[in-house]
A and B are shown apart, each in its own frame.
Chain A
Amino acid sequence: MRLPAKRYDGKLSLDGSMLNTIKRLAAYGLVSAADDFQSDPLDDTKWRTVASVVRRNRLCLVAAAAVNSGVFPVSNDQAGQVYDHEEAAVAAILGTERAALHVAELLTSVGSTGAEFLILKGAAHSQVLWADPNLRAWADLDVLVSGEHIAAVAELLVGELGATWHDRQDERESAVKFAKSMTFSLPSGVAVDLHRTLVKGPFGELVRQEDLWTSNSTISVGGQPMRGLSVEAMIIHACMHALSSELNQLTRLRDIAEGIRRDAATDVDRVMVLARHWDCEAVVASGINRAAEVFNLEPSLELVEWAASNPGSTRQERRMSYYRDQRRTDRIMLVLSRARAMTPLSLRVTYLHNVAFHKGRDPLWNRLSRLRSANKRR
């Protein structure tokens, strides 16, 4: 079953020509991209639409490159806006890189040997997946830390770097044990997401932690070497990420397209093996199918062919539906489905007990809490 393409234009409803313009702009610099844009600058109304989609999808660096190459014609005023956003995007990247240096230094002081960590998403995807790393923008820092150290790292971020922990005080114990990630804001304004796993819900639980740490890429952040996921794990993470939220969708799909382009250094078989190992072939296929549609990827690419063959299971499809739909019952099913994916059994029991009897961010707790309040009133 081929899943319907998700909306990647946010709240905008775009007509065919505008959608094509945005798709081509989002694809600029990608090997498969066609650069046949309009011959004159867009009028103000169309320009505002394009500029808004570009900003919300973090495509400012791609847009600046397209303008500079001359293939995307703009007026002087439009060029000025593109460059303003380019500079803001680069300032955010540099701020994030500086934050990464501080966090990396902090992590060396955890325990007797320091806490191992991996850089996820923006900084890593730009260097490992993208043919031209300078085109990928990001604005926050995502760090995966092993479960045994995550509580200590959270305390250090607050105590040593003066970070603000976004979880409420009474949610923190639960967040440390069970949240996919916890968000902190450094005094510089940079947001740091401290990850336990790659994605919320059941697919996050099904990721084998040992696979994340045994084969890694090396990236340079702020001039310092740091570790990221393997390129194959990164592609799967990009697919999971595209499933879990509508934010920044075009850049997320481009991460996938960059990772599977013909000249990428990706072990295609390893992607399939990992996807099977993590019971998420349907998620990976969905991400690749959507990237192929948006970026017009060659059908003969091995992973595009594989994705088109619907390699996932019915159970995976059902789990995916809990992410896609935002009804309350789906959010509750996401919690239950996640619990079902947890091993060992004792962890599952602890998680459900925590959800049911402690305040936290899980929707099941909120639902039960409202039912209890309603019963009391009756």
Chain B
Amino acid sequence: MNGHNLTSDTSDADTTAKFGERVESDRFVRNPVTLWREVSRGAVLSLAEGEVVRISHSGLAVWKCLETACSVAELTSSVAAQFSVDSINLADDIERTVAKFRELGVVNSVG
């Protein structure tokens, strides 16, 4: 089975660069063609092309928030509350996760 492992603390340098273009007010939402299911270690996503991606619990927390359009700030605040952590320390991870989701085509920007 082909697939990726994606966790919210991924640190791909290229996605950080990509994310530099983000506008603060950008909002993101799940691409509805992505099929997914929760599993014990997070979730499994099936991309439009049939490829499979695994995400961790923290990635899943971001993914669940993306059911409705969210900005990175809103995502950060929501996930920080769920995991009882400081949102300042979390913001970079959330940015990278959203960037990775966009790269995979599982979320869309709604402007």
Contacts and interface: CB of A to CB of B under 8 A. Distances in A.
B105 interface: no
Contacts of B54: 87
Given A91-B3, A94-B35, A94-B52, A83 B46 contact: no
Contacts of A68: 40
A363 interface: no
Contacts of A188: 50
Contact of A91 (B32, B40, B46): B46
Interface string B41-67: 100111000101010000000000000
A222 interface: yes
B85 interface: no
A91 B52 CA distance: 7
A87 to B, nearest CB: 5
A90 interface: yes
B57 to A, nearest CB: 12
B1 interface: yes
Contact of B36 (A64, A67, A88, A94): A94
Interface in A67-103: 67-68, 82-83, 86-88, 90-95, 97-98
A4 interface: no
A286 B66 CA distance: 48
B46 A95 contact: yes
Nearest to A79: B40
B37 A64 contact: no
B39 interface: yes
Nearest to B32: A223
Interface string A206-242: 0000000000000000110000000000000000000
A92 B1 CA distance: 9
Contact of A83 (B32, B35, B40, B50): B40
Nearest to B53: A91
B35 A222 contact: yes
B50 A90 contact: no
Interface of A: 64, 67-68, 82-83, 86-88, 90-95, 97-98, 134, 188, 222-223
Given A67-B40, A68-B40, A91-B52, 12 more contacts: A64-B39, A82-B40, A83-B40, A87-B39, A87-B44, A87-B54, A90-B37, A91-B1, A92-B1, A93-B37, A94-B52, A98-B50
